[in-house]
Amino acid sequence: MKEFIEGLPKAELHLHIEGTFEPELMFEIAQRNQIKIPYKSVEEIRTAYQFECLQDFLDIYYQGAGVLIKEQDFYDLTWAYLQQCADQNVRHTEIMFDPQTHTERGVAFETVIKGISRACNNAQEKLGVSSLLIMSYLRHLSEEAAFETLKQSLPFKDLITAVGLDSSEKGNPPSKFEKVFAASVEEGYIPLAHAGEEGDADYVWEALDVLKIKRIDHGNNCLQDEALVKEIVKRDLALTVCPLSNTALQVVKDLKDHPLKKMMALGLKATINSDDPAYFGGQVNQNYIDTQAALDLTKDEIFQLAKNSFQYSLLDTNRKEGLIAELEAYYK
């Protein structure tokens, strides 16, 4: 099964580039930028990664991202992740980045996007891994701040495919961002959002009806509401599920209790993703491997999850069909 998963062509649809920051690279970049971090060793960093909830994690995640200053830093971070993609047979990835985490510290939007995009272009050419970018608004900040980010993104519009919504969910409902999402869609960005990770089903409803999202990041708590599940199935929206993130942030107690199989049985289109792999103990293949073992998923179910990852990506039909054909040939 491990070998089957490792060789499986797949896409990753829920990944925060700042969440791929491995401690070794964090030390290296902190040192060259002469920024102090509150850890003496890689081991000390790893022990700090114990979380009781989303906010616990976010506090540490924003602190880690604070050492990224130069375009080369964003390039190195992204390139390291894309190399992992190639190693894991991730053929396509849709990368979220949080501009506000950086612009709030005085790093220019241009620095962030140029570093990330240069790595993406290089990966397409040298590794055969395709990617696209999702600019995510931080929901703990104001809608006005999100508008400022939207404005800053416009000169780089061609490099960005979609907008997302992430950070502290509870107390920051999707409706807070109604206007900036409408404006983002006007500019040609596809609307996506985290919903139902810690927030209840009514946040998922709002993400659907107010933000008009085309895919749901996490979505676990849609299971609280039967009518909502039916609506998601009817609209054919996929969920980007992140099993090891869910256990690390105690959204799910034990992987054996994970609702992935239930979601699939209800007709929901699920995909498996790593979210913030450097923090949650595993890259995308580890998410597949551990979830398969915990829920006793069949090869057919694994194949279906990988197929969903291509089917519900934001790629054009041509590339989607090509990747699905590659997957089907592998499965056969």
CB of 40 to ligand ADE, least distance (A): 25
- Which among 258, 260, 207 is positioned nearest to 237, based on CA atoms? 207
CA distance 19 to 57: 10
Q: Which CB, 8 or 85, lies closer to ligand ADE?
A: 85
Looking at residues 7 to 36 of the shown chain, list those that interact with ligand ADE (rule: CB under 6 A): 16, 19
Q: Among residues 275, 283, 290, 310, which is the contact residue for ligand ADE, using CB under 6 A? A: 275
Q: Which CB, 94 or 275, lies closer to Zn ion?
A: 275
From the candidates 12, 94, 169, 197, which is the catalytic residue?
A: 197
Q: Please, are residues 116 and 97 in contact by the beta-carbon 8 Å criterion? A: yes
44 is catalytic: no
Burial class (CB in 10 A: 0-12, 13-18, 19+), 329: exposed
Q: Among residues 12, 76, 206, 276, which is the contact residue for ligand ADE, using CB under 6 A? A: 276
CA distance 133 to 323: 19
Q: Please, are residues 93 and 129 in contact by the beta-carbon 8 Å criterion? A: yes
Q: Which stretch binds Zn ion (CB under 5 A): 140-148, 153-161, 269-277, 314-322?
A: 269-277
Q: Which CB, 97 or 109, lies closer to Zn ion?
A: 97
CB of 192 to Zn ion, least distance (A): 10
CB of 245 to ligand ADE, least distance (A): 5
Q: Among residues 10, 176, 194, 307, which is the contact residue for ligand ADE, using CB under 6 A? A: 194
Q: Which CB, 274 or 292, lies closer to ligand ADE?
A: 274
Alpha carbon dihedral 236, 239, 240, 246, in 10-degree steps, equals 180
Q: Among residues 71, 76, 197, 290, which is the contact residue for ligand ADE, using CB under 6 A? A: 197
CB of 138 to ligand ADE, least distance (A): 8
Longest dimension (CA), the chain: 53
CA distance 78 to 70: 13
Q: Which CB, 241 or 268, lies closer to ligand ADE?
A: 241
Tokens of 62: 């924003």
Contacts of 25 (CB under 8 A, 6+ apart): 76, 77, 80
- Which among 165, 149, 211 is positioned nearest to 185, based on CA atoms? 211
Q: Among residues 275, 279, 286, 290, which is the contact residue for Zn ion, using CB under 5 A? A: 275
Q: Residue of minimal CB distance from Zn ion? A: 275
CB of 121 to ligand ADE, least distance (A): 24
Q: Which helix (H) or strand (E) holds 221?
A: none
- Which among 61, 123, 67, 73 is positioned nearest to 275, based on CA atoms? 61
Q: Which CB, 276 or 290, lies closer to ligand ADE?
A: 276
Q: Say how many residues make up the chain.
A: 332
Q: Please, are residues 29 and 20 in contact by the beta-carbon 8 Å criterion? A: no
Show the binding pattern over residues 288-307: x = contacts ligand ADE (CB under 6 A), - = does not.
Answer: --------------------
Quick check: 166 binds ligand ADE (CB under 6 A)?
Answer: yes
The contact set with ligand ADE (CB under 6 A) reads 16, 19, 54, 166-167, 194, 197, 245, 275-276
The contact set with Zn ion (CB under 5 A) reads 275
Which residues are identified as catalytic?
Answer: 197
